[in-house]
Amino acid sequence: MDMTVHRESLLKPLQAVSGVVEKKQTLPILSNVLLTVKDNQLFLTGTDTEVALVGCVSVAACRSGTTTVFARKLFDICRTVPEGATLRLTVEGNYLVVRSGESSFKLNTLAADEFPDLEVIEYPVKFTLKQSQLKSLFSRTYFAMGLQDVRHYLNGTFLDISQNTIKSVAADGHRLALTTIHDERIGEGVEARVILPRKSVLELIRLLSGDADGDVTVCIAESRFQVTTSDFIFTSKLINAQYPDYNRLIPQGTTVAEGEREAIKQALTRASILCNEKFRGVRVGLEPGMLRITANNSDQEQADDAVSLAYEGTKMEIGFNVAYLLDVVSAISAKTIRCIFTDPNNGVLIEATEGDHCLYVVMPMRL
């Protein structure tokens, strides 16, 4: 293998692939990136056996070939050479030699045939979306995913696809996030219900561009999920489990309060400064025309704040984890939000008053 490539062309896909590669591996090969040169194209592949990412860049190839090299070291070399530099990568014996100007680096390689490869399968479900749509679908729900929960189906995002609609659902037992997109290109007859693992969701948020109008092709099989753009192919295994009926977790309250999202966010942020660092609890008090937020900690310090609110019901006080509330008001982009309460012992339903097709449920906590 012998090729020449511009630093900037190589840096972006190498950085993306390096993010998929696990930093601490029991198998040395999994810390490596697979480099394949073919038809003046360099394909870079990283995997942890659960997730795989393939990036592509055009090169001036003198000789085709394939090898693997430690991903982080190659990325650091590419990152630290001067901007505008040209890199020449050559396999010499058991080493990959990287040359740029007066700089030269000699890296150990491992045989390419040892590199794990996800088997090629058929994907019965296929449709196309904009990158910004798919990114928004995940970025507005990801924070509610479980983290190392024994109920492993909560450690990911559930995608419920039917009738030209995708619903993205994440829950961890204390909160639930649901967002919806509708697009005729999905197809009326396309149906799938899958759980995408936490790592895969976070990687896709990182990889997808929220501003780009470029399309992504989504392919789904029984055990696999694949996203293809003009820059990369991302493949992930799915969580094999039955997701609970999320509709049953949405409270059907009748007590409604509406307020300015940014004002509520700022009041919660100020109150969080003096809340208990471990439990992160705040008291949210409703009274006609007003939302009052109170926090205190073990040092007997206290914060009190208030925000004007469109509310005409009776007085009510509920305890919440302030971090959960802040996640929600940060995810919503609308100017005003609607909070629907049942009673102090049940969760609050929070949604945008207009525009955003998303809703959130936050369960109360005892203070």
> What is the model's pLDDT at position 85?
94
In angstroms, rounded to a whole number, what is the distance separating the alpha carbons of residues 118 and 244? 29
Handedness of CA 308, 310, 315, 319 (dihedral sign): negative
Q: Are 14 and 33 in contact (CB under 8 A)?
A: yes
- At residue 3 the predicted structure's pLDDT band, cuts being 50, 70 and 90, is very high
> In the chain, where are the structural domains located?
2-114, 125-247, 251-362
Q: Are 214 and 229 in contact (CB under 8 A)?
A: yes
H or E element at residue 218:
strand 215-220
Q: pLDDT of 185-235, one tens digit each?
A: 998 889 999 999 999 999 999 999 877 678 999 999 999 999 999 889 999
Task: Specify the CATH number of the domain 125-247.
Answer: 3.10.150.10
Phi/psi-derived region of residue 101, left when phi > 0, alpha when psi is between -120 and 50, beta in every other case: left
pTM above 0.85, yes or no: yes
In angstroms, rounded to a whole number, what is the distance separating the alpha carbons of residues 128 and 15? 25
> What is the model's pLDDT at position 214?
87
Q: Which residue do the tokens 């480099």 mark?
A: 35
SS3 content of the chain, % helix, strand, coil (to 5): 25, 45, 35
CATH of 251-362, one of 3.10.150.10, 3.10.20.70, 3.40.50.80, 3.40.50.620: 3.10.150.10
Q: Are 50 and 237 in contact (CB under 8 A)?
A: yes
Q: Crossing angle of helices 7-20/198-207, nearest 10°?
A: 160
Domain 2-114 has CATH 3.10.20.30: no
Structure tokens at 56: 């592509």
Whether the pLDDT of residue 166 is over 70: the answer is: yes
Q: Which residue do the tokens 């390419």 mark?
A: 112
> What is the model's pLDDT at position 212?
64
Whether the pLDDT of residue 184 is over 80: the answer is: yes
Q: pLDDT of 85-111, one tens digit each?
A: 999 999 999 999 999 999 999 999 999
Cβ contacts of 75 within 8 Å, gap of 6 or more? 11, 14, 15, 18
In angstroms, rounded to a whole number, what is the distance separating the alpha carbons of residues 19 and 350? 34
Same topology for domains 2-114 and 251-362, yes or no?
yes
Task: Give strand pairing partners of 140.
Answer: none
Q: Are 284 and 358 in contact (CB under 8 A)?
A: no
